[in-house]
Every structure is written in C-alpha cells, then in structure tokens.
Structure 1
Amino acid sequence: MINRSIEQAVLRSLSFFPAVGILGPRQVGKTTLAQKLMTELQKPSVYFDLELAEDFEAISQNTTWLLENNIDKTIVIDEVQRLLPLFTQLRAIIDRKREAARFILLGSASPSFLQKSSESLAGRIAYHELSPILTVEAASTEIPWQQHWHRGGFPDALLAPDDGFWYQWQQNFIKTYVEQDLSQLGITMSIPLLNNFIRMISHVHGSLLNYVTISNSIGISNIAVRRYLEILEQAYLVRRLEPWYVNMSKRIVKSPKIYIRDSGTLHFLHNIRTFDDLIKHPVSGASWEGYVLEQVIPLLDPAIRPHFYRTSNGAEMDLVLVDGITPVVSIEIKISLAPALKRGSTESVNDLKTKNNFVVTPKGGNTSIRPGWIHCNVVELIQNLQTLKFVKY
C-alpha cells in the first residue's frame, strides 16, 4: 500500500472535529484511506457504502435508528453525495453528542454534496481533498517518475501490470465518468458530444482558456461551456489556473489557463499508449507542465495560492506561489534537461520580485544556476518548498 500524504492531517482533524469529509474523484483511493484510518482510531468503527443497494436502503429507511445505535462508533459513509437529505439528520445527531471522530464522509465529485454539506454541517466538519497519488508518495515505493508521469496517479492505473492494462483502465474510467457521474452532476449534453467536449479540453491543456474557441468547436453556447467547465472542476477532472495581476502596472494576461488534472487521463485522451510515445508527442511539453503543477498544488499550505504570470510583452512564469498579495516563489517548468533561462523568465522575476526561483526539469540536480535560481526535479522542488514552509506536509 502506498502511504498517502494527507493521512496525518486527516487524523489530526479527526481528533477535534465531529465529522471529516474526504473528497476526490472516483478510484482515487478514498475508501482505502478510510479503511486504514478505521484501524488507527481509538474507538470501533462501522462502514456503509451507499453504492450498495443494501447499505443505501438501510441508511435511507432507518437513518435515525441506525446512527443512534452506532453512537459510540466512528461511522464511515462512502459515496455520501447519493443521499443528501442525510446531512440534516447528521447535524442533529452531532449536536446531541458533540465529540470528535463521529463521522467520516467520503464523497466523489458532487457540487450539490459540497453545497448541502457545507450548509448543514458548518463548524462541525473539516474537509480534505485526496488527489491522485503524488510523485513524492510514489517515490517511496520506487515507482519510476517516467511511469508516474505517463500513467498518472490513480492507484489502479499507476500500478497496472503493463501499459495495456493501464490504457484499458483509463478507458473504463472515462466511460464511467461520462456515462454516469457527469450527467448526474448537471451536464445534459449527449454522450458523444460530452466525449468530444472532454477531448477538446485535452487539446487545449496548458493553454489560455478561450470559451469562444471551445464553444465554436463543439457547437454549444459560451454559457454552457462555462457551466460545464465548472462541473468538470468540481469533479476534479480539470483545473483552471488563474493569472497573477494584483498591483501590476503592465499589460497582464487575465485569462486563466486550463489543465486536465491527471496526466494519465490526459495521455489517454491523446491516445498516448507508452512513455516512448509520450516523449515524442507534441503535447509532451504541456503535459510536463501540468504534471508538475499537480505534484505541487495539492501540497501547498492553504495560505499559499498558485497562479501563473504573463504579460503582453512576453514575460512569463509557469507557476507563481503567492502569500497574501506577495509573490514568494517563481517556478519555470521545462521538459528540456538544459536549465537555461529564457528572457521572459528573468523579466517575470524582475516584475514579481520573488527571491526563491526554481527551474524544474525531469533530471534536476538541486544546483544553483545563478543567484536566486535553483535547478531541480519535482521531488527536489517539493523538498525546497518544505524548507521554505510553503507546503502542508
């Protein structure tokens, strides 16, 4: 089993909050993590999976009786977004006996789940997002970075016996999301059109988000594109990275950039079947950029916000970490093994005035290439950010 970085943070929340929510996409390992937590808690626990008909019926038909009769246990409810009316009863039960670790709630991609649970359990619940397996987690099991980048971080996909099984897993994963989950979340377009929409997003991965271009390409309105992208974000499939432009006098690009969050999913959507195919593919540079972002952003301290920076005259930085309104770290991401800096990068640092600056390549080396600049790989970057106290764990 691969140890997950958030485990200790979740246990800390369970020592204080009556309920803890673990959110993330399907197949990311929420159930496995919860089952491990159940063995580490100081009291007995009971598990219900609302995707199982018998568990769903038991809780929906006998909610109060079932929860009250397990009042001295930690109750784990998986796929809890399938029974949103449950949250009102959870609030009442928690308030009658307010103690730590009463509930662990696991949820997969549901905006209504987030909204309803926040309204009903405000002040009673702490949320944690479980991302796909990170490179620092995979490295502890000696999984090569090449395999992790190519296959992505979903556990079953990453650990598949070969690339053929990985590809088949991704195929089934996308089919399940498209045909079941996304339609339940509010995307009403046909399945073929939704497939085209997701593939269109994969082709603009790492680019500035242009709603008109996407709208014209697949024949739906700008408003629908915006709404569907919001749903894909809340389903943990895509990330919009906002530009940094506070207190800047220059002409700044103000459109966000769009990324498919899991590199393995991106590669499947581009029909990239092996690592050798990946390094020769035109998307490899943008893929590496998105991959590095997804290894860093889930680990950031909540006070540190990620952005990118770009001006109309060519200054550009792939990732800028901002503390409050102050940029504190600039990160240039290069697939080339050579750490040479572009003029746009040095101009960006002059604008942003960041003292800690990194060039991230696959090879790295953690070496200084000029004052204020370190050349490193992804794991070395995270170690440097840990030293600077910009990551949570």
Structure 2
Amino acid sequence: MYQRRTNQIVLSALQSQAAVVLLGPRQVGKTTLAMEIAEQRPSVYLDMERDADRQVLTEPDLYLDEQAGRLVILDEVQQMPGLFKSLRGQIDMRRRKGFRAGQFLLLGSASNVLLHQSAESLAGRVRYIEMPPFLLDEVGRERQNDLWLRGGFPDSFQAENDSASIGWREDFLRTYLERDIPALGPRIPVTTLRRFWTMLAHAQGGLLNAAALAEGLGVSGQTVGRYLDLLVDLMLVRRLQPWHENVGKRLVKSPKVFVRDSGLVHALLGLGSMESLLGHPVVGGSWEGFCIETLIASAPAGTEPYFYRTAAGAELDLVLRLPGNETWAIEIKRTTTPKVSRGFHLAVEDIGATRKLLVYAGEHEVPASNGLQAVPLARAVEHLRARW
C-alpha cells in the first residue's frame, strides 16, 4: 500500500468543513481512501450505484437523522442529484446540534455534473478536492519509468507485470465505453468514442483542431466538442488553456489537449512496454503530458495552469500561477542536455515569470543562465511541494 497525499488533505478538510466532495475518475482509489478514513471514526458508507443503498435513502431525512454524529460517506453521489437539498438541511440541522465539521464525505467521478448539482445547495458548506492517480512522490522516483509507462491507476501500476498492467487498462477503457459513459446518458456509439479517444492519444499535447477531428470521425465540430466535454468532465482528458493576458501579443487561442493518465495513452495506442513506447512518435507528447499532470497535481491548491505560445515563436510548455501571484515558467524536455530555446526566454519576459524551470531527463539539479534551473521531475515536484 502506498500512502496517498490526498488522505491528509481530506482529513484536514473534514476538520473544518461540514462536507467534503472528493472527485476523481473511477478506480483511482477514492473508495479505498474513504474506507481508511471510516476506520478511524464512527461512519456509515453507502454506494449510490447499489439498489439496496439507494432504497435506504428513499426518505433521506429519516435515515440521515439517525446518523447524526457519524461521518456519512456517499459514493457516486452524482447518481442521486435530488439528495443535495436534503444534505443542506441536514448540515444546518446538525450545526444547531453542535456537529459543525466532518459530517459528509461525498465521492464522485463526474466533476462538472457533481459541481453543478452541489454548488447551489451546498454553497459555503463544502470543500472540493480532486484525487489524482498515483503521483511520483507517492511511489518514489526509482519507479518513475513504471509510473510513466503504466500510469497512476493503482491496479495498473501495481500489476504483476507490464502485460497484466496493459490488460487491466484495456478492461478499464472497455468498461468506461460500454457501461460508465452510457450510464451518464450520452448515446454515443462505442466505436466512435473509442476512435475519438485514440485520436486524442495520437495527438497527445497538441493544439485542439476540432475540424480535423470532426473530419476524421465523420461528425460535426459541435459533436466533437460534446465528446471532448464528456471526457473532460470524467477527468480523463485535460484541456490546458492558453495564457491570455498579454495585450498586443498575437497569442495562440486554442487549448492543448492531453489524455490525463499516461498509462491510458499507451493502452489506447497499444504500447505495452517501455521499448515500444520509446520507439513510438508519441513518446515526446506522452512524456510532456506525464510531467504536466504530475506538476499540476503537486502544486498548491488554487494554482491555475496554462501554456503560452505566440505567433512569433515564444513558447512555454506549462505556466503555473500559484497563490500569492507567483508565476512559474516551465519547459519540459526528454533530453539529458539542459538547454532551452530563445523562444523560452522571450516567453518568460512576456509573462513576467518569477521562477524558471527546465524539467529534463537528467538526474541532477543544474543551474543555468538567467536564473533558469534544470531539474529532474522529482526535484520539480519537491520545489512545488515546498510552496504548500
């Protein structure tokens, strides 16, 4: 078992907030974490995908009144949107009885759906926390290549061998396509959505070209947008937005698109070993996406991620605006030579970066010119963790 950083974040939030919403894709470890917390305090666990547990909440106030003083854990809570009004009343009633914090832990795997459902009813009563797959500082830097190849879903990362790992990821993709996504309501042919997801993996880290995707799928650009919104909502794909604050610069306006888990990128492309990955054209985009997800997840809460690119050639792979108005400019290269282009320095000046990092494939931290630091990924994570 690996100790998850999210565990301490949730425990801390439960000490100050009445309700905590833990978001993350399926199989990322939310339920395991919740059950660990449940062992430490009086708790009750209900899974909203089980008919028996849904029946318990047919009259939610009658049941929840009996649980006052316990932590109520509701898994896949987006399955019962009508529950949120009852939760608001329960929180307010319990406050009057002296139970102020740590009342509800809500787990969900569809972020926008759940945020929309809870925003109106639980405003001021809830904290949202996203649980990522395994992170580099959770599994150790000696397993960096395993984490990159297999991705961070626990069952994939901890599989007995690479073959078993990619087999698990194939099953994961099939389950999402055939069961989980249809359960949300969209009527999308499985083969079409699989092709779309695979096209995103081939173009990992590229600018969104909805017209080209639509032409390849034989659908409209609007339909491509709907497919993308769905995968973003399920926290399986990231739309990395461009930095947009430089007046007078011709900035790229299209977002970059990444399949968020590197292991899913490789499963979609049939890359089951490090040898096959290193020989594939996606290797650079895969490494960039892996680093970007790792760095965003390691940054302090409230950090805003962007990329930067101008028509003149100034470019940054990742811009992190940290709380306190710090702006970090980050370049990512799968090379052992710590060098950046002139476009990097131009972009740093454009955005007024307060810190400059080059994440590269070497093993040592190397100071470069103009305040630039070349660091391994694990060291960049440590720099970000120091800002928590």
Same fold (TM over 0.5): yes
User: How far apart, CA to CA, are the structure 2 residues paired with 1:277 and 1:287?
Assistant: 13
Corresponding position of 1:370? 369
The one-letter code of the counterpart of 2:49 is E
> Which is further off, 315-324 or 87-96?
315-324
Corresponding position of 1:65? 62
Q: Does the C-alpha gap of structure 1 residues 51 and 159 become closer, same or farther in structure 2, counting only changes over 3 Å?
A: same
User: How far apart, CA to CA, are the structure 2 residues paired with 1:327 and 1:100?
Assistant: 32
Which string of whole-angstrom CA distances, capped at 9 and with x for unpartnered residues, describes residues 172-228 of structure 1? Answer: 111111112222334322111111111111122110111111111101111121122
1:298 is displaced (CA, Å) by 1.9
1:323 is displaced (CA, Å) by 4.7
The one-letter code of the counterpart of 1:313 is A
TM-score, normalised to structure 1's length? Answer: 0.93
The one-letter code of the counterpart of 2:133 is P
1:65 is displaced (CA, Å) by 2.4
Corresponding position of 1:173? 172
Which string of whole-angstrom CA distances, capped at 9 and with x for unpartnered residues, describes residues 90-138 of structure 1? Answer: 1111111122111111111253332112221111111111011111111
SS at match of 1:359: strand
The one-letter code of the counterpart of 2:193 is L
Corresponding position of 1:38? 38
User: How far apart, CA to CA, are the structure 1 residues paired with 2:291 and 2:266?
Assistant: 15
The one-letter code of the counterpart of 1:114 is L
User: How far apart, CA to CA, are the structure 1 residues paired with 2:107 and 2:54?
Assistant: 14
Corresponding position of 2:105? 104
User: How far apart, CA to CA, are the structure 1 residues paired with 2:192 and 2:376?
Assistant: 38
Corresponding position of 1:55? 53
> Which is further off, 337-346 or 154-163?
337-346
User: How far apart, CA to CA, are the structure 2 residues paired with 1:326 and 1:116?
Assistant: 31
User: How far apart, CA to CA, are the structure 1 residues paired with 2:302 and 2:54?
Assistant: 38
The one-letter code of the counterpart of 2:55 is E
Q: Is residue 92 of structure 2 the alignment partner of residue 91 of structure 1?
A: no
Contact 2:271/2:277, CA 8 A, preserved across alignment:
yes
Contact 2:300/2:323, CA 8 A, preserved across alignment:
no
Which string of whole-angstrom CA distances, capped at 9 and with x for unpartnered residues, describes residues 148-191 of structure 1? Answer: 00001000000000111111111111111111222233432211
SS at match of 2:132: coil
Q: Is residue 138 of structure 2 the alignment partner of residue 144 of structure 1?
A: no
User: How far apart, CA to CA, are the structure 1 residues paired with 2:363 and 2:247?
Assistant: 31
> Which is further off, 295-304 or 95-104?
295-304
User: How far apart, CA to CA, are the structure 1 residues paired with 2:26 and 2:87?
Assistant: 24
For structure 1, the residue ranges without an aligned partner over 5 or more in a row are: none
For structure 2, the residue ranges without an aligned partner over 5 or more in a row are: none
User: How far apart, CA to CA, are the structure 1 residues paired with 2:324 and 2:373?
Assistant: 24
Overall identity of the aligned pairs, in %: 39
1:247 is displaced (CA, Å) by 2.5
The one-letter code of the counterpart of 1:95 is D
1:355 is displaced (CA, Å) by 3.7
Corresponding position of 1:256? 255
Corresponding position of 1:127? 128
SS at match of 1:31: helix
User: How far apart, CA to CA, are the structure 1 residues paired with 2:354 and 2:322?
Assistant: 13
The one-letter code of the counterpart of 2:126 is I
1:248 is displaced (CA, Å) by 3.8
The one-letter code of the counterpart of 2:75 is D
Alignment of 1:298-337 (within 5 A): 298-323=297-322, 328-337=327-336
User: How far apart, CA to CA, are the structure 2 residues paired with 1:284 and 1:25?
Assistant: 24
User: How far apart, CA to CA, are the structure 2 residues paired with 1:88 and 1:275?
Assistant: 49
Contact 1:365/1:376, CA 8 A, preserved across alignment:
yes
Which string of whole-angstrom CA distances, capped at 9 and with x for unpartnered residues, describes residues 242-294 of structure 1? Answer: 11131342221111100000000001011101012111211010001000010
Corresponding position of 1:4? 4
User: How far apart, CA to CA, are the structure 2 residues paired with 1:222 and 1:327?
Assistant: 37
The one-letter code of the counterpart of 1:101 is G
User: How far apart, CA to CA, are the structure 1 residues paired with 2:52 and 2:385?
Assistant: 45
User: How far apart, CA to CA, are the structure 2 residues paired with 1:272 and 1:176?
Assistant: 19
SS at match of 1:330: strand
Q: Does the C-alpha gap of structure 1 residues 323 and 248 become closer, same or farther in structure 2, counting only changes over 3 Å?
A: farther
1:300 is displaced (CA, Å) by 2.2
Contact 2:77/2:107, CA 8 A, preserved across alignment:
yes
Contact 1:21/1:126, CA 8 A, preserved across alignment:
yes
The one-letter code of the counterpart of 2:112 is P
User: How far apart, CA to CA, are the structure 2 residues paired with 1:288 and 1:268?
Assistant: 15
Contact 1:76/1:105, CA 8 A, preserved across alignment:
yes
The one-letter code of the counterpart of 2:102 is A
Which string of whole-angstrom CA distances, capped at 9 and with x for unpartnered residues, describes residues 32-52 of structure 1? Answer: 1111122334xx111112223
TM-score, normalised to structure 2's length? Answer: 0.94
Q: Is residue 73 of structure 2 the alignment partner of residue 76 of structure 1?
A: yes
The one-letter code of the counterpart of 2:183 is Q
Q: Does the C-alpha gap of structure 1 residues 373 and 110 become closer, same or farther in structure 2, counting only changes over 3 Å?
A: closer
User: How far apart, CA to CA, are the structure 2 residues paired with 1:353 and 1:80?
Assistant: 42
1:351 is displaced (CA, Å) by 2.4
SS at match of 1:126: strand
Q: Does the C-alpha gap of structure 1 residues 54 and 332 become closer, same or farther in structure 2, counting only changes over 3 Å?
A: same
SS at match of 2:368: strand
